[in-house]
Amino acid sequence: MRQILTKNGKRWRCVKSIEATKAGASKRDAFGKEITALNKAETQARMCRMANPERNQNS
């Protein structure tokens, strides 16, 4: 992660995201969609574990 200055102030960005912006809009967008899908999958898995805690403790 690196802190970069944007028009809205300082923001933290991952190095891969920064590099993807240098490769062009299509590659940047593809990277963003991939990361969004991973984040959604992680969130769904976490919510499932929280909804069924007794099921996860017996595993």
Say which amino acid occupies 9: G
Has residue 33 got a pLDDT over 90? Answer: yes
| Whole-structure pTM value | 0.61
2 beta partners: 13
The amino acid at residue 56 is: N
* Mean pLDDT of the residues in the chain: 87
If we measure between CA atoms, which residue out of 24, 4, 20, 21 comes closest to residue 12? 4
Query: What share of the chain has pLDDT > 90, as a percent?
Result: 42
* Number of structural domains the chain divides into: 1
26 is in which domain, residue-wise?
A: 2-57
The whole-number pLDDT of residue 20 equals: 81
DSSP conformation class of 51? H
| Average pLDDT of the segment spanning 12-36 | 88
**Positive/negative CA dihedral, 23, 26, 28, 31:** negative
